[in-house]
Structure 1
Amino acid sequence: MERVRTLSAPEGTGSILCCALSPHGSRTALALGGEEAAACVVDLRVAGGDATSSTSAVAHSLRAGLGCFHADDAVASVTWHPTREHVLLCAHGRVVTAWDVRHLPSETAGSADSAAAAVAGMSLAGTRTVDADAGAAPRGRVHLYAFNNDEVNSVCVDRKGRRMCAADDGGEIVVVDIGDETSVAGALVKTLKNGHENIASGAVFRDHKPHDVVSGGLDCAVCKWDQSRSTPVATWRVGELASASDAESGAVGGGDDDDAAASPPPMCNPPMVHAIACANGFEVSDDCAGVKRLVAAACGDGTCALIDLDLSAGKSGAGKSRNNKPGSRTSKGRSSSSSSSSAAAGGEAGGTLGGSGSEPGDPFASRGGRERRAAVFLGRSFGGGGGRFEAGHSGSCNSVAFAGWSGGRLVLTGGNDRHVGVWDWRECGGGGGAGGVGGGGGGGARVRFFRHGRKVNWVCAAGALDNPGGFGDTFVADTGEKVAAYALSL
């Protein structure tokens, strides 16, 4: 592990809540969202700075003083449009705005830019809803999507750039048609609700199943949705999944190491889902094809849950829900572990996840002929026969991402304990797993675990190692106004 450089946001940005690396061209634009109604785009090609000194390479700046955001809005999520190279979407307050960065004022020339001065003092207070009287838009703003009824926590665009989903504090996820570039406001496709009991912390599309939306919330639930239906087709309760994992660890971890098997789980907080991630935006390697089935959920108990999204919809027919909706395994609120009536469901839906086609390469395979697991956990290990214990984060796990530069093999996590974890999900236990670690936990999957220095708010990774500039492949945002770039692939 090597920290390549430290990147500074403009003063007054506040804590960096989110970051996103552009997938276009040479992948040298990093977008940052701040707590103090500000966002910026950093040009990674600007030379200077190292691991100890910070680099100011801000190419574009968005601030409340320029009319870009309401003064009370934190920029909670940013993402680049996958097909329109210069369009950046920012979630702030109850809206999502899309900006053409080519038309934003340069940070270095902001004070001399007459157009920027002309819009200084404007706010979005009058444009919370889109209508004919909304007035002139701030410079560079091309779209304003105002369909959420509460503060937006995350925004995601599908791989074809046709639809956007945004999760909010009310537990709802809106799906918006953004394919018409001439439409400023977009068109509401569906409001996904009755899945989360409170805050929906994140929602993402799945690249290879574009009609699927996956969300996580502070009610400790992960939901899978079909865009054509307003209620979830499957719901997993992380607490129940963890209990099932603990029970199996106790059942198979006895014998030579009863003390280790009886150790209490590393849980001091409820497993609220603070962030979720799917393997999107990069080319998956052949030996990690199973990663397309997974969602990673960053949990409040310091672990990361990996859930097999397709096990519940296996071709063998895991059963209808109690409300007789096809494709749903159980009624709302039941964990998938209690409704897996067929051990063959995972195999028929896409084979083993480890890529080897055999049980030792599949971390979701249970021992003793039991049905396949619905989930495994990174950072939740009880040693088993080997007596090995490697826990996850000692505080809440706040952010998670699949490392595209690893071809989907590695998962990145960041937590309140000021640490960053790098995990190989293929070795997280399972029926004798690749790492040979007993129990149902993920201790054997830990590749690196290092101190970052501040509480981590967000982690993001480059989609591939095709950038010759040495800019770093992983970016970590924390409670300060700086972002660290790491070369974790070394």
Structure 2
Amino acid sequence: AASSREMRRLKGHSSSILCCAAASGDGSAAGLVSGGEDGRVCVFDLRGSNEASQKYSFFDGLPVPSVCYNPVDMNLVYAAAGSSIYCFDLRLVRRMFLHVIAKHTINADDINQLAVNRKATFLAASDDSGETKILDLKNNRTFKALRGHTNICSAVQFHPQRPWEVVTGGLDSKMIKWDFNRGKQLAALDLGCVSDASKQIFNPPFVHALACPQREISGELGRTVAVARGDGGTDVYDLNGPAKRDPSQGLARKCSLDVDQGGHTAPVSHVNFASFDESGRTVISGGNDSSIKIWNWTACELKLSLNHNRKVNWMTTRASSSDNLIVADTSKFLRVYSVPV
């Protein structure tokens, strides 16, 4: 029987690991990148050893809070450090060290998350000023600045089905859907207005992370966004909406996964749609309670709970039956689980 216990520890960082991203594709895609508090980007091949195969650590000591692959060319990796975006080509390596092929400084403040759209034509970068900048990757120029949050903009995701839409989330407890071509807000949701106060832990419903399905999924299940909330809840919304008289003004909440369903007892720090579930029904949440929850969100059902023993910073998944959940936490190791598919 498949086991969900921790299988491997990956080494390459010297302190807390802030983020990680797995190369997308079928189960043969074995690439993994991570960024850390140590100002280092590490690259791993999950088919090989547990040691990083490549490294880059010349960010002037600045932490690396976000990394992501180019979905069209998996040889290209983007990393954020400070207010700058770095691009690496994994084929260009000297003595195990990565080579920066481009650097963009278009944000005015420290970046929290990077996201690239499916055609790899635009990159979004959300920052501490509450702003999200859209970078035109074809012409290497700023395409648009999206200003809507009154506090740190912690998360950004491209709409999986609509090429000109992004959704952002912030520590103002707001989630905003944008037409980034026009720079116009399409919907705004204050999570403080739609949260169930009776179920909240004693924390505001800050948006700590957003996730959209990374696989191509047709229909309603492919147009969702999952929200990691500071009050311990994990929500899933339909990005297209609208629901009649819904307080989200165009974003319909499909489910709310909280402590009543066996959820987190502390803020949810990260959330992910499982790449190993083609249907888009599996959401994984990680929390400051050092636990990982695997949900069938369409049934509001907790499928599996893992005691991780460390606060979760980030998670990524692979379309594989083994080594399919990778977790970055407050330790210097990436932990790899095999979750039953």
Same fold (TM over 0.5): yes
Partner of 2:204 in structure 1?
Answer: 270
Partner of 2:12 in structure 1?
Answer: 10
* Contact kept in structure 2, 1:337 and 1:374, CA below 8 Å: no
Distance 2:216 2:224 in 1: 15
Change in CA separation of 1:375 and 1:171 when aligned onto 2, cut-off 3 Å = farther
Deviation at 1:101, TM superposition (A): 1.4
| TM-score normalised by the chain length of structure 1 | 0.65
| TM-score normalised by the chain length of structure 2 | 0.92
Higher strand fraction: Structure 1 or Structure 2? 2
Instruction: Confirm or deny that 1:150 pairs with 2:139.
Output: no
* Contact kept in structure 2, 1:241 and 1:375, CA below 8 Å: no
Partner of 2:283 in structure 1?
Answer: 411
Change in CA separation of 1:338 and 1:86 when aligned onto 2, cut-off 3 Å = closer
Secondary structure of residue in 1 paired with 2:164: strand
Distance 1:11 1:477 in 2: 11
Partner of 1:162 in structure 2?
Answer: 121
Query: Once superposed, what is the RMSD of the aligned Cα atoms?
Result: 2.1
Partner of 1:485 in structure 2?
Answer: 336
Distance 2:93 2:9 in 1: 20
Q: Which runs of 4+ in 1 moved over 4 A?
A: none
* Contact kept in structure 1, 2:211 and 2:227, CA below 8 Å: yes
Percent identical: 32
Change in CA separation of 1:84 and 1:11 when aligned onto 2, cut-off 3 Å = closer
Distance 1:24 1:450 in 2: 26
Deviation at 1:9, TM superposition (A): 2.9
Partner of 1:220 in structure 2?
Answer: 173
Distance 1:338 1:5 in 2: 41
Secondary structure of residue in 1 paired with 2:65: strand
Structure 2: gaps of 5 or more residues:
none
Distance 1:396 1:417 in 2: 7
Partner of 2:64 in structure 1?
Answer: 75
Secondary structure of residue in 2 paired with 1:202: strand
Partner of 1:475 in structure 2?
Answer: 326
Instruction: Confirm or deny that 1:98 pairs with 2:8.
Output: no
* Contact kept in structure 2, 1:24 and 1:85, CA below 8 Å: no
Deviation at 1:337, TM superposition (A): 2.3
2:247 to 316, 337, 346: 337
Secondary structure of residue in 1 paired with 2:195: helix
Deviation at 1:4, TM superposition (A): 5.1
Instruction: Confirm or deny that 1:379 pairs with 2:251.
Output: no
Post-superposition CA distance 1:435-471 (Å, at most 9, x none)? xxxxxxxxxx111112011100011111x23x7xx4x
Distance 2:24 2:249 in 1: 39
Secondary structure of residue in 1 paired with 2:53: strand
Amino acid at match of 1:485: V
* Contact kept in structure 1, 2:7 and 2:338, CA below 8 Å: no
* Contact kept in structure 2, 1:61 and 1:106, CA below 8 Å: no
Deviation at 1:11, TM superposition (A): 4.7
Post-superposition CA distance 1:350-377 (Å, at most 9, x none)? xxxxxxxxxxxxxxxxxxxxxxx53531
Change in CA separation of 1:191 and 1:338 when aligned onto 2, cut-off 3 Å = closer
* Contact kept in structure 1, 2:171 and 2:207, CA below 8 Å: yes
Partner of 2:44 in structure 1?
Answer: 42
Distance 1:24 1:461 in 2: 11
Instruction: Confirm or deny that 1:179 pairs with 2:138.
Output: yes
Deviation at 1:28, TM superposition (A): 0.8
Change in CA separation of 1:489 and 1:283 when aligned onto 2, cut-off 3 Å = farther
1:297 to 227, 231, 234: 227
Partner of 1:350 in structure 2?
Answer: none
2:314 to 436, 440, 458: 458
Partner of 1:191 in structure 2?
Answer: 145
Secondary structure of residue in 2 paired with 1:406: coil
Distance 2:271 2:209 in 1: 6
Secondary structure of residue in 2 paired with 1:18: strand
Larger radius of gyration: 1
Distance 2:213 2:274 in 1: 8
Partner of 1:392 in structure 2?
Answer: 263
